[in-house]
């Protein structure tokens, strides 16, 4: 048990202290606003306030955790051991920066509440973030800051031992299009065939005919391959199915299709499954679509759906998460960037969403991911070998802090499409390395 003193235990302070100590460092924490009680206590303790008492572990508090409005704070950056940190403290603080305020700002995505610009598909762009601007996007800084705090506590209280944390690997697959050709409606074949004809893409029409005649496998039908890769590790895998109504950015097969329903049911027998809320479910006034799509999946698998990931990673604060909570989602896996690999919330540990507008922690657990197939190839333009190295570096960063590495892949990028040549090997490399590091 660890004791924290503060003149006021605000909802923000309680939230971030519990995240750092209970979720990351696996240690119980308690609070007091009574200075006499704090001074007498024999527990390992931290004074998080505006006044130091004696020789206790002291961190001069930032105003951020006592603020009740969403504004850009004064970051007060400082250099420490060759690295850049935010929210500079005082010379008598045990650390030259405030790890509680810095972690709170990054994890709650306060900067995303305040950003008025909109990127492609109205998404927040990684280059606007404080971590990207300071070359820290590929570091799990919140976990690193937690470890720095743990080191100082151990120095002060040598008999106090933090539990050892182990690296975990988690794989997730988004099914935006279950099949490229088969099991699609006749009108879709006619429309795409005519379009290919007009554009002179005769090879695509030949491939379509070969697949329909069953002389060639559908390029997106990679499910047997996935079963082979995940054999014995099924509990580490999640599948997210897109079941929205057909539209420009939601082109999966109808939820009524018998083959798709069969695929989902077979997948559910082996793996955890979740809903992939459609592109248009995130538009203003379309919250009802989340409920409709979630209900479709629940009827197919015969049980409650509690997991989700937004299609196109469309995420708006706090709207998206409030909608998910309203419709019974307990875990979300959207926290990551489309255009860059790394740590969008600066953390590689699942955490609860804190609603800044309501100033309270919620029941929605966020599972951040660090890498996506499309990011590596299309957004960052990396070769398969460069992708392997990027993944290796990220995994080792997560390994150092005993966090969870989560990857996002798609069934369609694992086929035999020339555009994705070499990325099946990247996928296999990532899975092998993840399992190896987990078992070390």
Predicted confidence (pLDDT) at residue 191 exceeds the cutoff of 60 = no
Of 415 and 129, the structure prediction assigns the larger pLDDT to 129
DSSP 279-330: GGGGSTT-HHHHHHHHHHHHHHHTS---EE--GGG---TTHHHHHHHHTT--
Q: What is the chain's mean pLDDT, rounded?
A: 93
pLDDT number for residue 154: 96
Predicted confidence (pLDDT) at residue 193 exceeds the cutoff of 60 = no
Band (204; pLDDT cuts 50, 70, 90): low
Q: What is the pLDDT of residues 396-427, one digit of tens each?
A: 999 999 999 999 999 999 987 888 999 999 99
Predicted confidence (pLDDT) at residue 167 exceeds the cutoff of 80 = yes
Other residues' Cβ atoms within 10 Å of the Cβ of residue 91: 6
pTM of the model: 0.94
Arithmetic mean of pLDDT, 270-292: 94
Arithmetic mean of pLDDT, 177-188: 75
pLDDT number for residue 74: 82
Of 51 and 77, the structure prediction assigns the larger pLDDT to 51
What's the rounded Cα separation, in Å, for the pair 14 and 18?
6
Helix or strand (DSSP H, E) at 173:
strand 168-175
Q: What is the pLDDT of residues 325-357, one digit of tens each?
A: 999 999 999 999 999 999 999 999 999 999 999
Arithmetic mean of pLDDT, 297-322: 97
Indicate the pairing of strand 83-85 with strand 78-80: antiparallel
Q: What is the pLDDT of residues 233-268, one digit of tens each?
A: 999 999 999 999 999 999 899 999 999 999 999 999
pLDDT number for residue 75: 80
pLDDT number for residue 210: 59
pLDDT number for residue 84: 87
Predicted confidence (pLDDT) at residue 192 exceeds the cutoff of 70 = no
Question: What residues pair up with 365 in beta bridges, in sequence order?
Answer: 331, 352
Arithmetic mean of pLDDT, 18-44: 96
* Helix, strand, coil percentages for the chain (3-state, nearest 5): 45, 15, 40
pLDDT number for residue 417: 80
Q: The dihedral of CA 414, 431, 123, 288: what is its sign? A: positive
């Amino acid at each position: 048990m660890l004791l924290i003193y503060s003149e006021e235990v605000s909802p923000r302070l309680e939230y971030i202290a519990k995240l750092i100590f209970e979720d990351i460092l696996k240690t119980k924490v308690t609070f007091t606003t009574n200075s006499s009680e704090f001074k007498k206590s024999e527990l390992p303790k931290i004074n998080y306030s505006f006044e130091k008492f004696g020789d206790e572990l002291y961190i001069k508090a930032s105003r951020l955790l006592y603020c009740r409005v969403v504004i850009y704070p004064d970051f007060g950056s400082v250099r420490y051991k060759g690295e850049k940190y935010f929210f500079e403290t005082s010379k008598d603080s045990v650390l030259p920066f405030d790890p509680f305020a810095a972690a709170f700002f990054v994890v709650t995505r306060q900067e995303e509440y305040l950003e008025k610009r909109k990127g492609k598909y109205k998404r927040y762009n990684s280059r606007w973030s404080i971590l990207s601007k300071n070359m820290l996007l590929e570091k799990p800084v919140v976990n690193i800051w937690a470890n720095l705090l743990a080191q100082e506590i151990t120095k002060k209280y040598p008999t106090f031992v933090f539990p050892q944390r182990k690296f975990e690997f988690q794989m997730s697959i988004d099914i935006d299009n279950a099949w490229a050709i088969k099991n699609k409606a006749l009108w879709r074949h006619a429309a795409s065939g005519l379009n290919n004809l007009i554009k002179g893409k005769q090879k695509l029409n030949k491939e379509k005919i070969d697949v329909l005649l069953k002389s060639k496998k559908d390029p997106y039908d990679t499910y047997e391959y996935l079963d082979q890769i995940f054999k014995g590790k099924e509990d580490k895998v999640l599948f997210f199915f897109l079941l929205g109504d057909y539209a420009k950015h939601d082109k999966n097969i109808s939820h009524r299709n018998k083959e798709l329903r069969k695929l989902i049911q077979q997948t559910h027998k082996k793996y955890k499954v979740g809903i992939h809320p459609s592109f248009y479910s995130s538009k203003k006034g379309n919250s009802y679509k989340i409920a409709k799509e979630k209900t479709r999946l629940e009827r197919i698998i015969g049980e409650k759906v509690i997991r989700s990931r937004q299609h196109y990673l469309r995420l708006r604060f706090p709207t998206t998460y409030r909608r998910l909570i309203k419709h019974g989602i307990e875990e979300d896996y959207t926290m990551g960037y489309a255009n860059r690999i790394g740590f969008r919330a600066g953390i590689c540990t699942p955490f609860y969403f804190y609603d800044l507008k309501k100033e309270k922690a919620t029941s929605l657990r966020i599972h951040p991911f660090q890498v996506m197939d499309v990011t590596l190839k299309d957004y960052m333009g990396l070769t398969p070998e460069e992708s392997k190295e990027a993944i290796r570096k990220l995994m080792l960063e997560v390994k150092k802090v005993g966090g969870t590495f989560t990857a996002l892949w798609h069934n369609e990028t694992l086929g035999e499409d020339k555009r994705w040549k070499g990325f099946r090997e990247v996928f296999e490399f990532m899975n092998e390395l993840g399992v190896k590091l987990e078992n070390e």
